[in-house]
Amino acid sequence: MKGPLFYAKILLFGEYGIIKDSKGLAIPYNSYNGALKSASNLLGEAEKSNKNLAKFYHYLKNTSTDLVSFNFEKFKKDIDSGMYFDSSIPQGYGVGSSGALVASIYDQYAEDKITILENLTRDKLLNLKAIFFFNGVFFSWEKLGFRSTKQLFKFTYFN
């Protein structure tokens, strides 16, 4: 397995406003990227990534949402077969490491996904934003000072 590349981002403005449906401007940063890969013998960072993908799988599987459904059977099979996210994107700097991972999982496992080939209406874009936020929460809720992902999701969408 070797998936398509997902790039880092540079957010020029609007980082917090985007969450509340305001405008922002981001551009891809091609110097850093990540892709789903698999190996039969996982070592080092690949092994760590595989374990984190297993945690992410359990988060998605055990968190109910009507936003998106995933092919969990295939996702689990690929994790068990040594899938990992091979990335050069720095983590913890806000340049899109978790976003690239979330986008790669959505691309590979989402059912009835919204694609760039269709007419992207405002509603579809808002739905994509909600899907990526919901999935990205797994990587950031503790850093943001929330006790649970449900608390963060409720705060963001109902305040």
pLDDT reported for residue 149: 46
pLDDT at 148 over 90: no
pLDDT at 156 over 70: no
Output the CA–CA distances (angstroms, integers) from residue 86 to 77, 129, 133, 155, in the order listed.
Answer: 18, 24, 22, 32
* 112-130 pLDDT, tens digit each: 888 777 777 888 777 777 7
* 12-26 pLDDT, tens digit each: 877 667 666 677 888
The pTM of the full predicted model, rounded to 2 decimals, is: 0.77
Where is mean pLDDT largest: 47-61, 87-101, 116-130?
A: 47-61
Residue bearing the bigger pLDDT, 61 or 140: 61
pLDDT at 61 over 60: yes
